[in-house]
Amino acid sequence: MKAITVLGAILLIAGVAGLVFGGIRYTKSETVIDAGPIEVEAEHTKTIPIAPAAGAVAVIAGIVLVGLGSRRSG
C-alpha cells in the first residue's frame, strides 16, 4: 500500500470522526481544596470543538488521495 493511500485513509477516517463526534472530549481533574490531609478534587469535562467544515475538507482530501493512490498503483 502506498504512502499516499495510507495518508488518504487516515484523513478520511479522521474527517468522518470529526463530523460524527463534533470535537475531542477529555476530563481534567483539578484540586479544589488542599488542607493538610484533606484534599478535594473536581473533575471538569472539556471539549475541543472541530468545525464541520474541517471535517468535510478532511473527508474530501482523503477521498482524493485514496483515489490518486489506487489510480497510480493500477
21: domain range?
Answer: 3-73
* In the predicted structure, residue 73 carries a pLDDT above the cut 80: no
C-alpha dist (Å) from residue 12 to 5, 59, 64, 67: 10, 5, 10, 12
- Total of domains in the chain: 1
What's the CA gap between 68 and 21, in Å, rounded? 28
How many residues appear in the chain?
A: 74
Please name which of 13, 44, 18, 17 lies closest in space to residue 30, comparing C-alpha atoms.
44
Residue-wise pLDDT for 23-45, tens only, equals 888 999 999 898 888 999 999 99
pLDDT category, 74, cuts 50, 70, 90? low
Q: What is the DSSP string of 32-62?
A: EEEETTEEEEEEEEEEEE--HHHHHHHHHHH
